[in-house]
A and B are shown apart, each in its own frame.
Chain A
Amino acid sequence: RKEVEQDPGPFNVPEGATVAFNCTYSNSASQSFFWYRQDCRKEPKLLMSVYSSGNEDGRFTAQLNRASQYISLLIRDSKLSDSATYLCVVTPDKLIFGTGTRLQVFP
């Protein structure tokens, strides 16, 4: 089993839609969790950290479920500019990236 697993997608959604991605991890000792965004042919950049109580940043909401060992990312009111690959990152001791979920928002 991979340490971090994501549905590769693509998720094709219209503008204004709400979309959610999940990411499962295998190491129960993992302490820190993040979502990164990667645009085509660019480097990954931090989107948001994921806190135990869940956290929100504008249209983006991240949640952690330790019992089931998954994190989620919810994007509300999708914009064309949200089109990218979203990578979940888990840190037992070093940062381990999932393979990413591709999102395509269409007009």
Chain B
Amino acid sequence: DAGVIQSPRHEVTEMGQEVTLRCKPISGHDYLFWYRQTMMRGLELLIYFNNNVPIDDSGMPEDRFSAKMPNASFSTLKIQPSEPRDSAVYFCASRPGLGDTGELFFGEGSRLTVL
């Protein structure tokens, strides 16, 4: 089975540009998570969805960040406008749902550099 698929793997952009990160979770998984990882702050949960519905977005840094999950097989994280402090690795992860082991399955990450 395919794992969690993220794109792009790397993105370099200039301050002020819009950035869209994409994620395809593992088929059949009910939960999808977006994390951001930096050296200083580690892995931070930005938002998570259950059955395509956003459950907790308290980790989204500010209004420049938005996330959607239009269907069970696709999610996007958008930053508009981007700033240099948004530079990080953004991970998408999924897990099956109730009764599972709690294990999160991560994608390989999208490394974002904002100049």
Contacts and interface: CB of A to CB of B under 8 A. Distances in A.
B108 A44 contact: no
Contacts of B103: 34, 46, 49
Interface residues of B, number: 17
Contacts of A95: 33, 45, 102, 104
A87 B43 CA distance: 9
A46 B42 CA distance: 16
Q: Which one of B35, B106, B109 has the highest number of Cβ atoms from chain A below 10 Å of its Cβ?
A: B106
Interface string B75-115: 00000000000000001000000000111101111000000
Interface stretch (A17-25, A54-62, A67-75, A96-104): A96-104
A44 to B, nearest CB: 6
Contact of A99 (B41, B56, B101, B104): B41
B23 to A, nearest CB: 12
29 contacts: A34-B102, A36-B104, A42-B108, A43-B109, A44-B43, A44-B91, A44-B104, A44-B106, A45-B106, A46-B104, A49-B101, A49-B102, A49-B103, A91-B102, A94-B45, A94-B56, A95-B33, A95-B45, A95-B102, A95-B104, A96-B45, A97-B35, A97-B42, A97-B43, A98-B42, A99-B41, A99-B43, A100-B42, A100-B43
Interface of A: 32, 34, 36, 42-46, 49, 87, 91, 94-100
